[in-house]
Chain A
């Protein structure tokens, strides 16, 4: 956007804060065109389909978990989107709240309403269940007949346990990033924890043995299918209507 920002975060914060402000005012004053533009600012930064999970995640996540805002923007946004009948953004905000870094969870629990605490915890539980079953589906898959000496049971269980840790601690999007890394030929798993003010407060890396080329292709294909299923199910984890229904909602 602008080249006058010295550091990205204030600029980023202003971009979304401005979008939220214009959205609220255009709703009050019946400014339809501006309202649509303001929605687009969120659409451009909140994933709208499964293949946008990783590339649209980062900016929005940095903004909503900025450390110095009280209450955190994510909590304000839940009410804001509900108030403006923008339910299609709720699954992603709730998902981010469910998978937020553990050091920030205590704060979340103080500030969220009782209903939303239950909703995010329920979502977290369902995501973890989904995560367990889909991971074992992906990593157990193999090219038939795989004759490689490398694709052993031990290799698969090491991958499953590393990716499970990744899912549980960081969320499904982190796992997707790991498979993108695998596709590029990288077999180390990184745990990067975003902290307050978006700096990395903790990181660790695990190197894993590489599966054979053909099994890797099968894993990547399976992972894509599972990610699509995850995306389809995401609203239902939070008792929201399907994406199809959410996308047809009228704002006025």
Chain B
């Protein structure tokens, strides 16, 4: 799937993302709306969060990059 946040497109493998998110799983497994937007055959979903927010979320969800960090000075 492609997530659009602001002017940035994030192309992600939906199978991995839906494992983390109930809402996205419901969205992907439910009936597709008739006028779904596609880019090169891939479904495009616009989200309201900022590019930075979505990048952080995807890093945490897909790369586990943030979640194991603990801050120390």
Contact = CB atoms under 8 A, between A and B. Distances in A.
Contacts, number: 62
A31 B56 CA distance: 14
Label chain B's interface by main secondary structure. helix
Interface residues of A, number: 24
A125 interface: no
A41 B49 CA distance: 21
Contacts of A8: 73
B66 A18 contact: yes
A45 B24 CA distance: 30
A213 interface: no
Contact of B21 (A1, A18, A30, A59): A30
A45 B70 CA distance: 9
B29 interface: no
A140 B69 CA distance: 46
Contacts of B73: 8, 12, 59
Contact of B23 (A15, A22, A28): A28
A25 B71 contact: no
B56 A34 contact: no
Contacts of A45: 71
B71 A31 contact: no
A34 B22 contact: no
Contacts of B60: 22, 34, 37
A56 to B, nearest CB: 11
A210 interface: no
Nearest to B27: A29
B70 to A, nearest CB: 6
20 contacts: A1-B72, A2-B69, A8-B73, A11-B71, A18-B56, A21-B56, A22-B66, A25-B53, A25-B57, A26-B21, A29-B23, A29-B24, A29-B57, A30-B21, A31-B21, A31-B23, A32-B22, A33-B20, A37-B67, A41-B70
Interface of B: 20-24, 49, 52-54, 56-57, 60-61, 66-67, 69-73
